[in-house]
Amino acid sequence: MNAGPMAFMRGLTFPGGQQPVIKAGAVYLRYPRVIDYPAWARLRGESRAFLEPWEPVWASDELTKGAFRRRIKRYQKEARLDGAYAFFVFRYEDDALMGGCTLSNVRRGVTQCCSLGYWVGERFARQGYMYDAVRALLPFIFNTLGLHRVEAACLPSNEPSRNLLLKAGFRQEGVALRYLQINGEWRDHLLFAQLADEANIA
């Protein structure tokens, strides 16, 4: 197993064509598929109380197969349009689904930037898996997508997420008041960013 932060990819025809598989440390990432539904629904369901304080309000049909299929179609469309890229995070040793990462709001032109979001199931939290996943995505963001900047945000009370971002090389740039609607309320967020020439990647 490759224990370092370097990522490898298979199928770099992009967007479209073969889908990338990204590996680093103890995890690998790939696009979500319809066949992932049982594992996704189980993990999200058992982690609901753990996740809800950090996420938008869940829809009434959040965990249904129909909603998941619509989610997958949206992911596919966004990737084709170079607007967003969603990945599921798996444990390398046993292929267990542990969480997800999304690169959203991809901006081209003079900006060349995207926003990073992530979630992890409760039983996999605080074990270093999401750090490996974020580090794995940096070469994809900067080398494959050719972006200049990646941004992220977290609630001030989310100390594990703040520590993860700092450890992964992000800088805290400020505070955005009432930045996102989380669990039904507009909440302040800490803002982080990392530039391509700051990233410690090959």
pLDDT, averaged per 10 consecutive residues of the chain (202 residues), comes to 36 50 92 96 98 95 97 95 96 97 97 97 97 96 96 97 97 96 96 94 71
Please report the beta strands in the chain, taking only residues with DSSP state E, as ranges in sequence order.
22-24, 27-30, 85-91, 97-107, 113-120, 149-154, 171-182, 185-195
pLDDT of residue 24: 87
pLDDT of residue 94: 96
pLDDT of residue 15: 45
Phi, psi of 134 (to 5 degrees): -65, -45
pLDDT of residue 7: 36
The pTM of this model reads 0.89
Tokens 């680093």 correspond to 24
Which CATH architecture best describes the domain 22-147?
3-Layer(aba) Sandwich (3.40)
